[in-house]
Amino acid sequence: MIQAAGLSYFPIAFIARMPFAMMVVGVMTLVVAARGSIALGGLTSAAVGLGTALLGPVLGMAVDRFGQRSVVLVAAIGNSLALLAFAWAAFAPVPDIALLGVAFLIGATAPQVSPLSRSRMVGIIQTRLPLRVRAKTLNGTMAYESAADEIVFVFGPVIVGLLATTLNPAAPIIGAALLTLVFTTAFAFHKSSRAVDGHAGAVVDRAPLRELLRAPMLVVVLGVLGMGLFFGAMLTALIAFMGEVAQAEEAGVLYGVMGIGSAILALSVAAFSTRFSLRARWLVFSSALVAGAIVATFATTIPIMILALALAGIGVGPTLVTAYALVAARTPRGRSATAMTIAGSAITVGQASASAIVGLIAEGSGAQLALLTPLCAAVVVFGAGVANWVISSRQPTR
C-alpha cells in the first residue's frame, strides 16, 4: 500500500483527519467559555453533528460523481471559513441562533477525510493490487485506518483541552481551521486521488441509492452509530466523574488509556485468521465493550475507572475495524465514498448527540447516572452485532 499510494500519503491523511476529531469538543469548549452555558454548548455540538448527518452523505455522493479532488478542496475551504467565523461569533454580540447556524455549517462542510481515505484505499486495492493479495491487504488497511481514527478521536479532545487552557478557548477552533486548510488541501491534491477520481468518472452503471438502504448495510451503520454514541457518552461521563473525584481537566489523560489499547488491538486485527469471521469478531469484541461499560458504572475510584477503560479499549478498535470492513464488502458498485461517508457521519452524529445529552444528565443528576449512558451505547453496538449475525447467516458477505 505504501508503494501504491505513496509514502507521503499516510502522514498527510493522518493529520488531515485531526480537525474532524477536534470540532465537536472544540465547539462545546469554546461556547461554554465564551457564553457560560453548558446547555448551549451541548446544543452547538449537536448542531455540528446534525450538519454532518444531513450533508455528509451528500458530500459522499458528490465524490462518487465528480471525484475526491474537487469536492474535498471546496469542502476544505468552506470548512475553514466556517470554523474561523465560529471563533469570531462565539465572543461577538450575535444571538445564540446565529451561533447554532454557524455550528451547523461546520458540520455540513466537514471534509470527512477519514471515510474518504478508506474509500481511496479501497479503490487503490481494487485497481492496482494483484487479486491474490487484495483480501489480506484490505483487512490490514482497514485495521490501520481504524487505529488512526482511534488515535485522533482520543487525542483530539486532549489537544483541544491543552490549547484552550494554555492559549485561548478559541485556539482549538482556529487551529482546526488552519490544519484543514493546509493538510486537507494536501490530501485533495495528493496523487493517490487519481486512482479513485478516474474510476468515479468512468462508472456509468452506478448502483441506485436504495441499495444502501438494505438491511445488511443499515445494521452496520447502526453499529458505527453506537460506537459514536459510546465515544461521546464515555468522554462526557468521564469528565463529570473526574470533576467529582479529582480534576475534570485530567479526564483526557485517563481517556487515553482506552485509546492506546484500542489502537494497538485495531492494528492486530490484520494478523487474525480468516477463519475468525467478521460477524464473530463483532460479537466477541463488542462483548468486551459491554464489559468495560459495566465496570464503569460501578467506578468510584480512579483505579476502577482505569480498569473499565482498559477493558473497553479491547473492544473499541477491533469492532470499528470489523464494521468498516463490512461496509467495504457490502458497498454497492460505484457508491464507495457515499457508503464510507454515511458510516463516518454516523460516528460524528453519535458523538455529538451523546455529548449533548450526557452533559445535561451529568449537570442535573451527577456522574453516577451519566456513567450508565456508555453502557446503553455499548448495548446498541452489541445488539447490532447480533442482528448482523442473523443477517449474515442468511446472506453471506462477499
Q: What is the pLDDT of residues 313-354, one digit of tens each?
A: 888 888 888 888 888 778 777 777 777 778 877 887 887 788
Give the length of the chain: 398
pLDDT score, position 209:
66
Question: Hey, which of 21-30, 145-154, 240-249, 297-306 has the most confident mean pLDDT?
Answer: 297-306
- Please give the Cα distance from 200 to 204 (Å, whole number): 9
Burial of 247 (0-12, 13-18, 19+ CB in 10 A): exposed
Q: What confidence category does residue 378 fall into, taking pLDDT thresholds of 50, 70 and 90?
A: very high
Comparing 387 with 132, the larger pLDDT belongs to 387
High-pLDDT (> 70) share of the chain, %:
90
Judge whether 101 and 44 are in contact, CB under 8 Å: no
Give the tens place of pLDDT for each residue, 228-259: 899 888 888 887 888 787 765 566 667 778 87
Give the tens place of pLDDT for each residue, 16-40: 988 887 887 788 778 878 887 766 7
Judge whether residue 172 has pLDDT over 90: no
Q: Which three cell numbers stand for residue 34?
A: 465564551
Domain locations in the chain as residue ranges: 8-394
Average pLDDT value over all residues in the chain? 82
Judge whether 220 and 331 are in contact, CB under 8 Å: no
Judge whether residue 294 has pLDDT over 70: yes
Instruction: Please give the average per-residue pLDDT across 303-310, as a whole number.
Output: 91
Buried/exposed code over 371-397 (b: 16+ C-beta within 10 A; e: otherwise): bbbbbebbbbbbbbbebbeebbeeeee
Comparing 44 with 260, the larger pLDDT belongs to 44
Judge whether residue 203 has pLDDT over 50: no
DSSP 170: T
CATH of region 8-394, choose from 3.90.1150.10, 1.20.1250.20, 2.40.160.10, 3.30.830.10: 1.20.1250.20
Reference 192, options 135, 116, 131; nearest CA is 116
Judge whether 27 and 48 are in contact, CB under 8 Å: yes
- Please give the Cα distance from 339 to 105 (Å, whole number): 22
Judge whether residue 397 has pLDDT over 50: no
- Please give the Cα distance from 224 to 59 (Å, whole number): 19
Q: What confidence category does residue 196 fall into, taking pLDDT thresholds of 50, 70 and 90?
A: low
Of 123-137, 186-200, 201-215, the one with minimum mean pLDDT is 201-215
Cα torsion angle, 326, 317, 381, 228, sign: negative
